Chain A
Amino acid sequence: MFVGVKSLHLGLGTFSSPGSGFMPFLISLITFILSVTMIAQASSMREEVIKLRADALWIIFSMIIYCVILKRVGYIPSSLMLWTLIFKLAGTRSWIWALAQGGIVTFLSYTIFGIILGLNFPVGIFFF
């Protein structure tokens, strides 16, 4: 519905000269019809609860934090924190071992992608 309303603002044009909003409006209309059909179908079905895993949500959350801090903190410190946490969440038992794995991954990724392949990683306040 949101896309449909926005499309109207963009202008539908005419059939002989369709405007910018014409196609988005058409697709939003199809999406609306599909949604209504699905809601109608769902109302006659048994309610199912979908469980999302806590570690999956932690990974998403930590990656969002990574996106926020990367520019300020710099690639190496923020990546070290992220990959240590992710190795731990993926099943590594001790924090020390996860830190070691995170360190190796950060070092290798910086060397291969940053130095050899020339990707521009943010340097941040620590200048690395």
Chain B
Amino acid sequence: MDTLSQLVVGLQIALQPMNFFYCFIGVFLGTLIGVLPGIGPLGGIALLLPLTYGLNTTTAIILLAGIFYGAQYGGSTTSILINIPGEASSIVTCLDGHQMALQGRAGPALGIAAFGSFIAGTLGVIGLMLIAYPLSKLALKLGPPEFFALMTLGIIVVTSISRGSFLKSAMMAAVGYLLSFIGIDPVEGNVRFTFGTIYLTSGLDIAPLVIGLFGISEVLASLEETANLSVVEMKRKLRSFLPTSKDWKVSIIPIFRGTIVGFLIGLIPGGGVILASFSSYAVEKRCSRHPEKFGKGAIEGVAGPESANNAASSACFIPLFSLGLPSNIITAMLLGAMMIHGVQPGPLFIAEHGTVFWGVVASMYIGNIMLLILNLPLIPLWVQVLKIPRKVLLPVILLLCTLGSYSVNNNILDVFVMVLFGFVGYVLRKLQYEVAPICLGFVLGPLTENSFRQSLIISNGSFMVFVTRPITAVIISFTILLLAYSVYRGTKFPGFELE
């Protein structure tokens, strides 16, 4: 069947009442999570993952994917109205979006963010549809050494672009790998690092770990911020959100440029929505005839990055679906979710689970339309949500975290693990360690170990297997160069810091 007929089948699946309903729930909750500073799509997916266990695989992935791209829409609302990014990819939107709001132009800023997100999200899904399948066919020719090289590149990129010290991020990634070794060795079946407990035999669950590191530690860190959020007042009529023709004229090229930048970055292992929005902002500033206006309310500074993060959120699914490689922490979480649902993403995924793939792709088109229709009229509601006092919001988030962890296995030990990692995450934040590499290391650990051991087995113990195969050699060389450069620079990957 050709792509178009596959898409029609996908639309039939996505439009089934149950899938349509969960797509709506996913994008709605995603937007809410994006609006609320602190939780983020990763924590949101981790919280809701246990609730998807009773759903069929397609419906569950539609819901979880909806949270991811829905959060990209919602994050801009908080950035523009209160100057606090609801989601990490919306950090750059604060710079010009909030300035626009202070100048009485919150409506056009929110409007262009929503329209840009829609255009980029839809184009991103078209790219996903066109690239994922051919790439999965190509991926069948890749062996364990290539996969090992790609995963190593992914973890090095994530470590390099993390905020703060490279050394600290590398340490966190290593801790994530070590945690992933707990449980049964997938090759020989030996039990490792369980201290004789039955609970650890099947390894640590990803949901309590992520909820603890992100959700609980965020709540604990938020206790230090006593003031409630101050929201910029704005007109609430729908017409006030529509950008003027002048706004469109200035923004349309940045939207398409942001889409291309975001899409390409989303494809790179280790690239992701945050890197995409920062890169797009840098590109827009460089391309602008009036770079001095950036940071003072330039609408291009909202249109470009908001488009880029949505394009990247669609592109991220390409390496996940075609190669089985998560290119960032959120897709790593989705990979874990898919494996829990009995689906192994990778070169055979589209061939073996075509209905899941096309159903999810089609749901993304529908989800993007839902987000555009819902988002602008719902902005007054999101403003009210932002006005909920912290003393009420924080315990409620804590409750959801607790129930989310408990519902994984109906086991209180999962809550204990969550609390433990919550405390660890809180201390690490205080010491300015990034916790995100722990999660990526945790998910990539078993996959990296498998491909590394398989590579050595097929090469009869020769490490030359990583050098003699052309694709592996290129990726490994690039990884080593990036690693050397990151170590040389001492702290950060260049080019993505705000001036």
Chain A contacts to B: CB under 8 angstroms: 3, 6, 10-11, 14-24, 27-28, 30-31, 34-35, 37-38, 41, 50-53, 55-56, 59-60, 63-64, 66-67, 70-71, 83, 86-87, 89-92, 101, 105, 109, 113, 117, 119-120, 122
Contact = CB atoms under 8 A, between A and B. Distances in A.
B188 interface: yes
A18 B456 contact: yes
Instruction: Count chain B CB atoms within 10 A of each CB in A16, A24, A53, A86 and give the residue with the most.
Output: A24
Contacts of A15: 456, 461-463
A52 B394 CA distance: 18
B149 to A, nearest CB: 16
Contacts, number: 138
B223 A92 contact: no
Given A53-B224, A120-B410, A31 B456 contact: no
Contacts of B426: 52, 56, 60
Given A66-B415, A105-B395, 20 more contacts: A6-B193, A10-B185, A10-B192, A11-B190, A15-B463, A16-B456, A20-B187, A27-B174, A31-B171, A38-B167, A50-B430, A53-B223, A56-B221, A60-B220, A60-B419, A83-B399, A86-B395, A90-B390, A90-B392, A91-B226
A63 B177 CA distance: 27
Q: What 5 pairs across the A-B complex have the smallest Cβ distances?
A: A15-B461, A16-B461, A91-B391, A20-B185, A20-B190
Given A24-B178, A34-B174, A16 B460 contact: yes
A119 B410 contact: yes
Given A17-B457, A91-B391, A63 B415 contact: yes
A52 B457 CA distance: 48
Contact of A31 (B51, B175, B422): B175
Instruction: Count chain A CB atoms within 10 A of each CB in B188, B219, B389 and give the residue with the most.
Output: B188
Interface of A is mostly: helix
Contacts of B413: 67
A28 B178 contact: yes
B452 interface: yes
Interface in B155-201: 167-168, 170-171, 174-175, 177-178, 181, 185, 187-188, 190, 192-193
A10 B193 CA distance: 10
B299 to A, nearest CB: 38
Contacts of B448: 23
Interface of B: 51, 167-168, 170-171, 174-175, 177-178, 181, 185, 187-188, 190, 192-193, 219-221, 223-224, 226, 389-392, 394-396, 398-399, 402-403, 406-407, 410, 412-413, 415-416, 419, 422-423, 426-427, 430-431, 448-449, 452-453, 456-457, 460-463
A24 B186 CA distance: 13
B214 to A, nearest CB: 15
A86 to B, nearest CB: 5
A90 B412 contact: no
A37 B490 CA distance: 12
A24 B181 CA distance: 7
Contacts of A38: 167-168, 171
22 contacts: A10-B192, A16-B461, A20-B185, A20-B192, A23-B452, A24-B181, A31-B171, A37-B167, A38-B171, A50-B431, A51-B430, A60-B220, A60-B422, A63-B415, A64-B419, A67-B419, A86-B398, A90-B395, A91-B389, A105-B395, A105-B399, A109-B403
A83 B395 contact: yes
A34 B171 contact: yes
B434 to A, nearest CB: 14
Given A31-B175, A59-B398, A113 B192 contact: no
Instruction: Count chain B CB atoms within 10 A of each CB in A14, A16, A23, A30 and give the residue with the most.
Output: A23
A64 B220 contact: no
